[in-house]
Amino acid sequence: MDKTAVILIGHGSRVAAAKQVLPDLANMLSRASGVAIDYAFMQFAEPSIGETIERLARKDLKKIVMLPVFLANGQHVQSDLPALLEPLGQKFRHISFLLGEPIGADHRLVEILNERLASLLDTGRTGEEIAATSFRLIEGSADLPTEPRSREVAKRVVHATGDPRLGRALVFSPKAIDSGIAALKSGTPIITDVMMVKAGISVSLLPGQNDVVSALAFAADSVSAPGATRAARGIVGALKKYPRAVLAIGNAPTALNEVCRLLDENEIEPPLVVGTPVGFVGAVEAKANLAGKNVEFITLPGTRGGSPVAAAIINALATLAGDLK
Cα 60 to its chain centre, rounded Å, is 38
Angstrom distance (rounded) from CA 142 to CA 111: 8
Angstrom distance (rounded) from CA 249 to CA 14: 53
The answer to whether 279 touches 297, Cβ cutoff 8 Å, is: no
Angstrom distance (rounded) from CA 170 to CA 163: 12
Q: What is the CA radius of gyration of the chain?
A: 26
Angstrom distance (rounded) from CA 212 to CA 214: 7
Query: Which residue type is seen at 190?
Result: I
3-state secondary structure of 150: helix
β strands within 59-157, DSSP E = 63-68, 96-99
Active-site residue flag, 107: no
Cα 49 to its chain centre, rounded Å, is 35
Angstrom distance (rounded) from CA 231 to CA 201: 18
Q: What are the contacts of 207-210 at 24+ separation with CB within 8 A? A: 207/318, 207/321, 207/322, 207/325, 208/184, 208/321, 210/184, 210/246
Angstrom distance (rounded) from CA 150 to CA 134: 18
Q: Mind telling me the catalytic residues?
A: 159
